[in-house]
Structure 1
Amino acid sequence: MTVDHVGLSVDDLAGMTEWWSAALDARVDYTVDRPAIAMRATVLIDADGFRLELLHRVGSRPAHPRWDIATSLLSHGFGHLALRVDDVPVAYDRLLALGATALAEPSAGSRPGMTIAFVADPENNLIEIVGRSST
């Protein structure tokens, strides 16, 4: 078994499609329209084949008005999306330049050779940036 994609419910489908396309250096793979439940979706795909499905349904609302690392641990379910990168500080700065909110600057992770940082996307979804050395 392998992960096919991750689904993320968003308020502004067009805006978040633009932001996540830039953040992941991804393109639109396909779109979905389900008028019966007032839902539309855009599926993005990056060069490695990772897909992120951005879902918008009329009447949806944020799970939390403001994400932070500690608050994410108080809710069951998926708490954050972790992106593996070669250079955490570079990726962190890039996401901030795209409009992400800084939550935790790059620092040593929980294992030797690991570096992590946290940001929130423009709709306050929590993103962990992970770098792992080959040692």
Structure 2
Amino acid sequence: MRGHHVAVRTPDLQAALDFYVGTLDFRVVAKWDYADEQLAYVSPATDDHFYVEILGGGDPQPQEVRTYTDLGSSLGWAGYHHFCLNVDSVEATVETLRTRGVTIVAEPFVLEAISRKLAFFCDPFGNLIELAEVLA
């Protein structure tokens, strides 16, 4: 087995596309309808093997957006927590995201146990996204 995609549920496909495509520079791979929903696969510009499936439309419940002030506050919720994107430089990516108005939830830090530098941010719907840089 190997990973293919993660799905993110949102009431507004266009708002999600604005963020993933407009802010993160993802590209739209496919769009389709299912019942009262509009869906899309988006992927990072340099990755043909990982997708975020955006499930938009309909009337998903609840529609509260979780806001995290730090990584620790996010750990109080059971179930899905985040998905991870590998980057060449966590520091440079965080700075680019800041210039695009993205709030960083966890500033870059090193996790020696897995030889990675990490940082976290949220999409507009409160879904956590991890950035990971492999360390030498």
Regarding TM over 0.5, the answer is yes
- Name the aligned partner's letter for residue 118 of structure 2: I
TM-score (norm 2): 0.82
**Could you tell me which of 28, 34, 38 is aligned with 1:40?**
38
Q: Give the aligned partner of residue 31 of structure 1.
A: 31
Q: Identity, % of aligned pairs?
A: 28
Aligned residue pairs total: 132
Q: Distance between the aligned counterparts of 1:97 and 1:16, measured in 2? A: 19
Q: Give the aligned partner of residue 101 of structure 2.
A: 99
Matches within 5 A, 1:1-135: 1-35=1-35, 38-46=36-44, 47-49=46-48, 50-60=50-60, 61-62=62-63, 65-67=66-68, 68-111=70-113, 113-133=115-135, 135=136
- Name the aligned partner's letter for residue 80 of structure 1: H
Q: Gapped runs of 5+ residues in structure 1?
A: none
Once the two structures are TM-superposed, the CA of residue 130 in structure 1 deviates from its matched residue by 1.1
Deviates most, 88-97 or 56-65: 56-65
Q: Distance between the aligned counterparts of 2:130 and 2:3, measured in 1? A: 18
Once the two structures are TM-superposed, the CA of residue 18 in structure 1 deviates from its matched residue by 2.1
Q: Gapped runs of 5+ residues in structure 2?
A: none
Q: Distance between the aligned counterparts of 2:111 and 2:23, measured in 1? A: 22
- Name the aligned partner's letter for residue 6 of structure 1: V
* Alignment root-mean-square deviation, CA: 2.1
